[in-house]
Each structure stands twice: as C-alpha cells, then as structure tokens.
Structure 1
C-alpha cells in the first residue's frame, strides 16, 4: 500500500501543489538573472563599440591645400593640422620657385593624424623673354601673354589718356626682360579722359574762384595782371583761361585773371610843337590823352610859342598842358600885359 507522506521514512516523489509552485518560481528567477546579465553585457559591448568609433573619427584629419603655398607656410599649415610634410624639389611650369606645385594625398582627403604628406617644391619655371605689347589693344596683349608661348599672369592697370582707349601705354616687366613662366606682368591701359566744365567765376574773389574750380575737379591759379577802370572789379575775377564754360580735361589747371587798378601811364610832351599851328598841336596832345589849355590867341591858326610843362617833359596821361600862342602878325589882340605884352591880353581857355 502507498506510504503516508507524513511517514518519516517516506522519501519518494512529492507531488503536492505547493512543491510544484516552489520549483516554478526558482526557474523564473534564474531566467530573469540571466536576461539581466545579457542586457548588461550588450550595453557594455555597444558602449565600447561607440567609444571606439568616436576615437577613430577623432584620429582623422582632412588634408589641406598646400599647392601654391611657400614651403614654410605649408609646414605651419601641416603642424596646425597634426600632419607632417615630406618635401622634394622639381621643376614646375605652373608655380614660381619655392612654391609647392603638387601634393599627395590630394586636398580634402581624410588621413590619420601625424600622417606624412608628400609635396613637390618648384625649383622654378622655365624662363621666357617678355615681348613688347605697348600700343596693342589690351585683349590682344592679354591673349598673347597668357598663351602657351609665355604663360604669364596679366594684371590690368588703367590710366586716363588721350591715346586710343584700351591700348597698352606701359608694361612691367619691360620688353626684353627674362622672367619665369607664371610671373605677373602689369599692363597700363588707356581709358578716356574725363571732362570738366570751367565754372562761371566772373566777379568772384581769388579764393572763391579757386574753391569753385576745386569743386569742378579743376585747379585754379590766380594771376593779378588785368588792369581795369572799374573799381568794383579790382581784386576780382575778370576772365579765365581756358574761358568760362569751356570743356577741359578733369584735373586741368585754369588761369584766373584778377583785376587791378590802372596805373598812371606817362607820355612825353612832343619836342616839335614850337612854331606849329594851335589846332595841330592841340590835336596831337589830345591824341596822347592830355588836356589842353591855351594862353594867348585862341585862333586855330595861331602859332604855338612854347608850353608848360615844356616840350620834351614827361607827364601823366590826363594832365593839362598849357600852350602859349601868338598871332601870325606878331601881336596879341592889341597888346597888353600878358605873356607877349599888350594892355589887355586874352583869357586862357582849357580844351580837352
């Protein structure tokens, strides 16, 4: 008969429900522990992989562009990028002496830090003799100089000129000089001269006129050399050269003529007036700009005996000359006590 489970000697299978539940709980716990361990190991592996990947990216650097740089400059660039340079020398047509003309790896390539970049340093390009392009049109000169024969670099410089617009006025280096291919040659090219209009400065002072000239891109030069009878124009602009309203080259110098008071002009009383008729002498003196006063006969046919100031004297224009006359008969209006004697004399009259 089956043994009583409560019997101390019972050692067989225990199939009671509480025993089965206990075994099931133990299995679940073990599975949970194993799952937790697997998750932890996975996290560690993923973190290690990600960390390793970032480190790998940090160890890379893009290769800079060394071509066209001087070797010293390239070395500084390499140091700043955690790279090293291995330079060699070679003749290069496209780079002047001392410049890097090629590199390996190419610019932009990702390489490990502290990698060595091979660069070729130019020992100089082949030399060519500079031709003359003065007088040529710029476009033609540029095409020729940059072509396969010379392979120069053309730089343009403009200058106002009366020469044909676009023509080459000058070049540097000059004709006949030997230079390396790739050398820069500067061409000075003619451009149309810009014009300015001489402003209206009549009646202005010198300073006012010069200021107006400056505002018109001109240079004013005052010269006080124009006599004027108008006192309002003394120290004022009378005229300009070139004249007001003329079109001139920008930057030109305009002469500004300033008015000055007329100086007293001097003339000489003619030496040969004695013995001549009054009318003839009077006309001569008035033609010299002198005033005439007659002492003696007023007859136009009267004879001039002398004058005051005397003949040959130097006087100012506008001065009065007194003429002493006598009749042809030798008397003077019935005598008098005047210059020629006589009892009455003739009153002197001034004529202009």
Structure 2
C-alpha cells in the first residue's frame, strides 16, 4: 500500500466519526481501581516493555489504575482507536499521529517516551553506502505506511531526488530482501530489524553476521530524525479533571515501568516473553536494551517533550516529500498537539517516591544474540 493510500484510508476512517468520540467513563473496577485501556501500535514486544512491566510490577495498581493493554497489529491505527473512544491512551509515532490529528483526530501527546529515533538504513559494508549521498543509484527499501519520511528527508538533504535518483522498493517488515541482496539498503529499527540481520548466518563463514559486515545510517546523526513512541491522550477529555488526574497517574506508572526496565533488562525480557511475544528471548533482550538507549539518559526527565525535537519533527513532516509527492502534514499543528503539563506532574510524583527519572548514570548492557533470536 502506498503512503498516499494509507493516509487516505486513515483519513476516511477518521471521517466516519467527523470528530473525536469521547468515551463514557468506565465504572470502577474491583477494589476501586479506575479501568484504563492502552492501545499499542504493534504486536507485543520489547518496544512496549515498560507498559508491560508497569502491569507486572503493580505500578499501575499502586496509582489506582486497572490497565488493560490492547495489542496492535498491521490493520490497527492506535491514534484512530484513541480518537474513536475505544481506548483511553495510545502509543504512536509523532508524525503519524500528527497526520491523523490534521484529519480530525482529537489527540494530544502527553509524554514523549522515546526521546530519540530508532530508525536506521542498513546495507552490507561492501555496498559502499556510508552516508545518504551514497544511496544514489541504489535499490532502496522502505516500508511506507508513514515510516519513510526520515529516509526521504535524509536523501533530499543529500541532494538526492527520491523519486528519480534511486530505485525505491516496497520492503516487507523484515530483512530478507537485504540478506538476499535484492535491495542495497533496507529500513530497520535499531531494536528490531537490525537485530534480525545479526541473528542470521553468514553463508561465507557459517557464523552469525557481525556489525562489521554492515553499514548503518542513523537519522539522528543526519538531522532528519523524527520523534517516535509517545503516549497520546484524548484532547477533549483532557478538559475533565478526573481524566487529567488519571492521565498524570498513568504517565507516572508507565515511566516507572520504563525505569524498571532500564535497571532490570533481563527481568523485563522475561515479562515480555511471558506476555506472549513471538520473538525469541535473546531478540527481546536486545530490543529492550536498544529501546532503553532511546529513552535514557533523559536530562529533563523521562517523557518530557523537547521543543527543539518537536520542532524538527514538525519541520520534516511539513517539508519532506515521499514518492507519492505527499508530506506528512500540510500545516503546523496547533497548541493542543502536545503538552508537558501531565508528564511534569507525573515526574514530581515519581521523584517524591525516589524513582530515578533522569537515568544520568545509565549505561547499556552488552547483548549476545542467538541464531534466529532464540
């Protein structure tokens, strides 16, 4: 599906509601806990370990919440689920959520969990692709579905016309096309698809591929990175003091879950595996370790929305053009698109409880991948 059709489909889905639907407050759960539904943007995996840990470790319950986590998937647009009142909060990438917001979804970024982008463009080292300019004349894989704009912005900044100077290939959500050399460069997340190539056997050696076998373009290094996983709330419901209070508590428990996963990577690996992830244990350990790098350290406090990073994301979303000639959004989002009000209150709660919300001494662990991520 092209980005044009994907965005059109999202717009059509949102148009069915004309505007956001405000869900009726759920009745208190057993024990007086407030029921909350969280919509993930993808299948159960380490990308969402902090939320799973917050359930497992009782952090939500300690805040008076009974949280049900709704798994995502290929056909699920989390910000639409939120806007239509089928969830109380959703995890979504900022540019995708802004596209939905421009189409009428009443949603607000209330906590920017991933402070950095995890998107790579990966190639074999012998392909000679060390920088975006080296993509000229190459077969360049990308997923589409709104995931491609960092890549397209990076190529454009390097003087490459994406629609003319490269051969664009619709890439599956795996690395098979790269490993078979059907494409020269593949889109990958640092915490998922990049691990897949390192879990594969190099036919020349009989051992697993090593990082030295590949070249990686990190869009954080190129200035075209966009903000990704954030907690989104229903804008209209934020006028309700009860929902405001729930939002603060939900963010606090979620960030406590991420702090737990920062300090207990192996425990969170086990939590994710037990939650039903279909990916292997070493892959999940890698994933949580890499996701931690996107969150920590957080000098301003985990979840705080950095104005400069937000402005860069909006700038790329407004100016980067994909193969269909589309930008993510056509105008700057209004002031209700994000707020630090609730995350700041949540951080105050956590600091009062002695939770380290900055992670200034954070250091990633070394992860050994097994064949196939087992």
TM-score interval for Structure 1 and Structure 2 normalised by the shorter chain: under 0.3
Considering fraction of residues, name the structure with more strand.
Answer: 1
Considering fraction of residues, name the structure with more helix.
Answer: 2
Larger RCO (CA under 8 A, 6+ residues apart): 2
TM-score for both structures, normalised by structure 2: 0.16
TM-score for both structures, normalised by structure 1: 0.17
